[in-house]
C-alpha cells in the first residue's frame, strides 16, 4: 500500500476531526442530544409532536457546508464511479442499516464511542469491518 503524498493532508484531517469532536461534544453538553445524522433525520420526519427546529437547523447546516466552503476555497472534484441504480441501492441499504443498528456512523462512531457505549463499540467494529471487507472484495477479488 502506498500513500498519495500529493493529496495527503494530515493537518486538514486533524483540524476536521477536532472540529467534529468539538461540535459533537458541545451538542451533547449544551443540548443534551447525540449528533447522529440518522437520529436527526428521524426526529425531523417523526409523526409525533416534537421539537423539529434543532434537527432542521442541524441538517440545514450539513447542507449549507459546501456552499460555505466555496467562499474560501474551490470545491474538490467529485467523481462518482457508480450507476444511479447502484447509488440508490447503496442508499437504501445504508438507511436500512442505520435503523437496524440503532444509529449511523456519526452517532455510533463519534458520539457513542466517546461516551463509552458498548453498543457503539460493537456497531462501529461491525460497520468498519464490513466496509474493509467490501473494499477488499470489490477491488481485489
Q: Report d(CA 45, CA 20) in Å as an integer.
A: 24
Task: Please provide residue 17's backbone torsions phi and psi, each rounded to the nearest 5 degrees.
Answer: -65, -40
Question: How many residues does the structure list for the chain?
Answer: 141
Per residue in 119-139, pLDDT (tens digit) is 999 999 998 999 899 889 988
Residue 86 forms part of a structural domain: yes
Q: What is the pTM of this model?
A: 0.69
Contact present, 54 and 31 (Cβ < 8 Å)? yes
Q: How much is the pLDDT for 91? A: 87
Q: Hey, is 126 helix, strand or coil? A: helix
Q: How many domains does the chain have?
A: 1
Residue 90 forms part of a structural domain: yes
**What integer best gives the mean pLDDT of the chain?**
86
Q: Report d(CA 19, CA 21) in Å as an integer.
A: 5
Residue 1 forms part of a structural domain: no
Burial (CB < 10 A; 0-12, 13-18, 19+), residue 28, is middle
Stretch (H or E) spanning 125: helix 118-140
Statement: residue 41 has pLDDT above 90: no
Residue 43 forms part of a structural domain: yes
Residue 115 forms part of a structural domain: yes
Residue 132 forms part of a structural domain: yes
Residue 80 forms part of a structural domain: yes
Over residues 82-96, the mean pLDDT reads: 89
Range of the domain at 37: 10-140
Q: How much is the pLDDT for 64? A: 94
Residue 45 forms part of a structural domain: yes
Amino acid at each position: 500500500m502506498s500513500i498519495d503524498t500529493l493529496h495527503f493532508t494530515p493537518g486538514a484531517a486533524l483540524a476536521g476531526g477536532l472540529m467534529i469532536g468539538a461540535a459533537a461534544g458541545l451538542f451533547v453538553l449544551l443540548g443534551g442530544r447525540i449528533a447522529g445524522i440518522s437520529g436527526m433525520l428521524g426526529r425531523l420526519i417523526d409523526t409525533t409532536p416534537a421539537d423539529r427546529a434543532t434537527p432542521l437547523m442541524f441538517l440545514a447546516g450539513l447542507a449549507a457546508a459546501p456552499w460555505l466552503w466555496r467562499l474560501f476555497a474551490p470545491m474538490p472534484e467529485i467523481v462518482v464511479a457508480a450507476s444511479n441504480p447502484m447509488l440508490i441501492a447503496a442508499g437504501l441499504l445504508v438507511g436500512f442499516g442505520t435503523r437496524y443498528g440503532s444509529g449511523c456512523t456519526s452517532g455510533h462512531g463519534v458520539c457513542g464511542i466517546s461516551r463509552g457505549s458498548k453498543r457503539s463499540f460493537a456497531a462501529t467494529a461491525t460497520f468498519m469491518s464490513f466496509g474493509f471487507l467490501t473494499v477488499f472484495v470489490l477491488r481485489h477479488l
